[in-house]
Amino acid sequence: MGEIQDQLFILIGALVCLKYLLKCVKFSKYFLLRLWNPLPKSFFRSMGEWAVITGAGDGIGKAYSYELAKHGLNIVMISRTLEKLQAVAKGIEQTTGSQVKIIQADFTKDDIYENIKESLQGLEIGILVNNVGMVHNYLPSHFLSGPDKIQNLIHCNISSVVKMTRLILRDMEIRRKGLILNISSGAGRFPCPLYSLYSSTKAFVCTFSKALQAEYKEKGIIIQVVTPYSISTPMTKHINPNKITKTADEFVKESLDFVAVGDETCGCLAHEILAHLLDFIPSWVIYSDLAQNIFLIHCTNYLKQNSNIQ
């Protein structure tokens, strides 16, 4: 009996060591990526002629639109505010020479997808960036204290990813190539108290993306979920950038280098390091009343001091 227990403990220890060894190998890619597995300059353009970006009027979506246009793709920008789309489209066309098509759509609604489908007819779409999203409560708060925007949040953060993917994935499958980037959040990597609804919707994006990648990777399609932490955008009230908080342009440019890393990436080295550090914190610490109270006070103060909150 004692020998069996010893062998069991040895096996468990070996599996734990193997798990962390694999994490270290994956993590090392971020340091060695350009030497280890550099993407050819023509990679993004080789996926197809057009890239579709949701939530493209500002923030991360705007940055992806510019960056993919610089890689030679024509851009379809989809967002709610027509004036923002027109201004960004004009800037992209003038600076890159790429064609830009704009589609006005409010992703908090559920009756927009037939019009989007008709507007995309005939386009060879090689890249889809499911970026559009919203936060239930910018400042941390308990679920019942947040605003009553639950259905809007579900439509925007979950339905948009599923329905846009369904619209575009079929043609990618026929052509046996394509890239789908689903923008989730670091808050979706684990249940995040005081951001419970936002965290849950972003966790769905993580699970959905990884499941799809398992289904379609053999068909030449890359589906990657991107889980950034703090990015300075209108959604985050233009929080002050620092070594951890990236500007949208900085983040997007770096994240495109990590498309070959695997089915999930934080998008930049700083956020990947932060994610690995957070993984060492036991869940019972994160979910304790003391931790939540400390986070509620200090995070609220930090956001108020470093964000453009009206």
Output the pLDDT for position 27: 57
Q: How far is CA 256 from CA 78, 178, 202, in A?
A: 20, 14, 20
Output the pLDDT for position 202: 98
Output the pLDDT for position 308: 85
CA distance 137 to 118: 34
Q: Which is more confident, 13 or 275?
A: 275
Backbone angles phi, psi at 206, to 5 degrees: -60, -50
Cβ atoms of residues 51 and 172 within 8 Å: no
Residue-wise pLDDT for 230-252, tens only, equals 999 999 999 999 999 999 999 99
Mean pLDDT over each residue of the chain, to the nearest integer: 91
Here the tokens at position 36 are 């280890």
Residues 6 or more apart in contact with residue 153 via CB below 8 angstroms: 134, 136, 197, 198, 201
Output the pLDDT for position 270: 94
Q: Which is more confident, 149 or 23?
A: 149
Output the pLDDT for position 41: 82
| Helix 196-216 × helix 160-175 angle, to 10° | 10
Residue-wise pLDDT for 180-216, tens only, equals 999 999 999 999 999 999 999 999 999 999 999 999 9
167 — pLDDT class (breaks 50, 70, 90): very high
Handedness of CA 40, 41, 46, 50 (dihedral sign): positive
Q: Which is more confident, 267 or 10?
A: 267
CA distance 249 to 237: 16
How distant is the alpha carbon of residue 247 from its chain centre?
Answer: 15
CA distance 49 to 252: 20
For residue 224, pLDDT beyond 60: yes
SS3 content of the chain, % helix, strand, coil (to 5): 55, 15, 30
How distant is the alpha carbon of residue 14 from its chain centre?
Answer: 33
- Catalytic positions, please? 198
CA distance 92 to 56: 12
Output the pLDDT for position 260: 85
Residue-wise pLDDT for 132-144, tens only, equals 999 989 999 999 9
Output the pLDDT for position 309: 77
132, amino acid identity: V
| Helix 248-255 × helix 59-70 angle, to 10° | 50
Cβ atoms of residues 104 and 150 within 8 Å: no
Closest CA to 53 of 40, 43, 41, 66: 66
Residue-wise pLDDT for 37-86, tens only, equals 678 889 999 999 999 999 999 999 999 999 999 999 999 999 999 999 99
Task: List the domains of the chain with CATH numbers.
Answer: 39-306 (3.40.50.720)
Closest CA to 186 of 199, 201, 169, 168: 199
Average pLDDT of the residues in 213-236: 97
How distant is the alpha carbon of residue 37 from its chain centre?
Answer: 22
Instruction: Tell me the pTM.
Output: 0.90
How distant is the alpha carbon of residue 230 from its chain centre?
Answer: 12
Residue-wise pLDDT for 104-124, tens only, equals 999 999 999 999 999 999 999
